[in-house]
Structure 1
Amino acid sequence: MAESDKVFAGSIPKLYDTLMVPLIFQAYADDTAELVAGFSPGAVLETAAGSGVVTRSLAPKLGADARYVVTDLNPPMLDYAASRQPPDSRIEWRQADALDLPFEDASFDVVCCQFGAMFFPDRVAGYAEARRVLRPGGRFVFSVWDRIEENAFADDITNAVATLFPNDPPRFLARTPHGYHDVARIRDDLGRAGFANVQIETREKLSRGPSARDVAMAYCQGTPLRNEIEARDASLLQLATDRAAEAMESRHGKGPVAGKIQAHVIVAAE
């Protein structure tokens, strides 16, 4: 993973939340919230919370006396997430590294992480930290994207932007969000971290966008793909977005668009 893959700053948090969240994250966030709330946890830790889509879905489903600690490594994303959340005395916002959590052993009933594990530089260490802070009988609930070929818009955008940079195509989407999809590898990493009971469900959904151009804007300017484009030639950001929009329109039409998305949802316990 390139260092720029972890940079969610500037205008990215707002664009990410307003464009990417409804496009691909909201449906899985609702699933995660239902799954976590179904365990009736008294204390929940969320890592890599991003712009807070899971937080907004899960908080209303937790008990009145629940403790909910929401963390992210990236302060701009965490600040944005907090700004979107209504006042709630149950929620504590903490900047934290999922690989070095500032919490005592056996502090939480559930640790959840939606689409964050792909960004961990050492996933086994991140999983071991989740296990360390879980109480006996606790569960680690997380999700990762399946391979990019199973996610239509991400694949289309990556291929379109590559035509502008044929000698050095930006590969953020394939490399990081969609780069950790092998189920056997995920099971092995969890086993090495001490989780013996692992359930993995692959869930297909439909991503919908108002138009091909909105989807192109979301991916090219609302994710770290933007950092990769600008690192090559900042003056080409708009042209890359236009090129992606044209490719999307050619494949999906100029009106509202829909495409397959697919992810693995994992529940791990000792």
Structure 2
Amino acid sequence: MASSVDTAFTGSVAQLYERYMVPLIFEPYAVDLARRVAQASPRRVLELAAGTGAVTRQLAVMLDASAAIVATDLNPAMLEEAARIGTERRVEWRQADAMQLPFGDAAFDAVACQFGVMFFPDRPHAFAEARRVLRPGGLFVFNAWGPIGANEFADAVTDALASVFPQDPPRFMARTPHGYHDPARIAQDLSAAGFTGTPAIETVAFTSRAVSPRIAAVAYCEGTPLRGEIEARDPDGLQRATLAAEAELARRFGDGPIEGRIEALVVTAMSPAR
């Protein structure tokens, strides 16, 4: 279960997340997820945990001009950054908790969620809310990061921080973003939420690229809730931790532009007929 520290995408973290993390690891999956939604030709789409709008911006381009997009997130700072960047056409930005969606039954043709389900405190309950707001036969599509060992930059940063804080290593990346990757468990949670069909669960891999180890280190240490874990252990330790992450990334991938594998599960489920 994600802690309050794990979900703290606040203040400058939201801006650093958009500047560094989105191009580093989120952009290719945003394109992939939006394409899957667009293929269903929905007229009304709800996005959960929209963050700074990586998927939202893709949906605004790929969906039919008549389709309505409602993009939600629990964290106001993330939505403010998303709205500041903007989209190709009108999107309704709305703060909302995926555990208690402020929408009527069968209000949407599709519900999408990019790398948000790992943060939900009760996934079957959140999935049941998604099913409730979907029309019969509606599409629910989301992704979740694979094991941390299959996501090379995240793995390197986590190992580096364990050397900085050996008595209490920050484990945010392994615990939360990379903590929900068992297909059987995902299928079980969807079933408990009332999705009756067999979900399609596909492993999708891309290559993450950064112009330098420094950029990747800043992305992870300062543009995610990992920052809160570091500062909780040492209020003045952020620079030291970032330098350690940079050194480990350089050791593994080189001093210039670097590349590493990223891997996620993409899950598609259909709302049952009522």
Which ranges in structure 2 are unaligned for 5 or more consecutive residues? none
Give me the whole-angstrom Cα distance separating, in 2, the residues matched to 1:111 and 1:86: 19
Using the TM superposition, give the Cα deviation of residue 86 of structure 1 relative to its aligned residue in structure 2, in angstroms: 3.6
Using the TM superposition, give the Cα deviation of residue 136 of structure 1 relative to its aligned residue in structure 2, in angstroms: 1.1
Are 2:115 and 1:141 equivalent residues in the alignment? no
Question: SS in structure 2 opposite 1:127?
Answer: helix
Give me the whole-angstrom Cα distance separating, in 2, the residues matched to 1:2 and 1:159: 21
Question: SS in structure 2 opposite 1:3?
Answer: coil
Counterpart residue number, 2:163: 163
Are 2:63 and 1:62 equivalent residues in the alignment? yes
Are 2:23 and 1:22 equivalent residues in the alignment? yes
Give me the whole-angstrom Cα distance separating, in 2, the residues matched to 1:87 and 1:170: 38
Question: SS in structure 1 opposite 2:236?
Answer: helix
Using the TM superposition, give the Cα deviation of residue 191 of structure 1 relative to its aligned residue in structure 2, in angstroms: 0.5
Are 2:119 and 1:119 equivalent residues in the alignment? yes
Give me the whole-angstrom Cα distance separating, in 2, the residues matched to 1:244 and 1:114: 26
Using the TM superposition, give the Cα deviation of residue 64 of structure 1 relative to its aligned residue in structure 2, in angstroms: 1.8
Are 2:208 and 1:207 equivalent residues in the alignment? yes
Q: Deviations over 1:184-214 (max 9, x none)?
A: 0000000010112211100111111111111
Give me the whole-angstrom Cα distance separating, in 2, the residues matched to 1:92 and 1:214: 32
Give me the whole-angstrom Cα distance separating, in 1, the residues matched to 2:105 and 2:95: 18
Using the TM superposition, give the Cα deviation of residue 162 of structure 1 relative to its aligned residue in structure 2, in angstroms: 1.0
Q: Deviations over 1:24-72 (max 9, x none)?
A: 0000000011110010000000000001000111111111221110000
- Equivalent position amino acid for 1:238 in 2: Q
Question: SS in structure 2 opposite 1:6?
Answer: coil
Q: Deviations over 1:227-258 (max 9, x none)?
A: 00001112110000001101111111010000
Any residues of structure 2 matched to 1:186-265 within 5 Å, and which?
Answer: 186-197=186-197, 198-265=199-266
Give me the whole-angstrom Cα distance separating, in 2, the residues matched to 1:67 and 1:136: 18
TM-score normalised to structure 2 length: 0.97
Question: SS in structure 2 opposite 1:248?
Answer: helix
Using the TM superposition, give the Cα deviation of residue 133 of structure 1 relative to its aligned residue in structure 2, in angstroms: 0.3
Cα-Cα RMSD: 0.8
Using the TM superposition, give the Cα deviation of residue 87 of structure 1 relative to its aligned residue in structure 2, in angstroms: 6.5
Give me the whole-angstrom Cα distance separating, in 2, the residues matched to 1:257 and 1:39: 36
Using the TM superposition, give the Cα deviation of residue 88 of structure 1 relative to its aligned residue in structure 2, in angstroms: 2.8
Figure out how many residues of one structure are paired with residues of the other and give that number. 269
Give me the whole-angstrom Cα distance separating, in 2, the residues matched to 1:173 and 1:76: 21
Which ranges in structure 1 are unaligned for 5 or more consecutive residues? none
Q: Percent identity?
A: 57
Q: Deviations over 1:154-181 (max 9, x none)?
A: 0000000111111100000000000011
Counterpart residue number, 2:85: 84
Question: SS in structure 1 opposite 2:21?
Answer: helix
- Equivalent position amino acid for 1:71 in 2: T
Counterpart residue number, 2:269: 268
Give me the whole-angstrom Cα distance separating, in 2, the residues matched to 1:251 and 1:42: 46
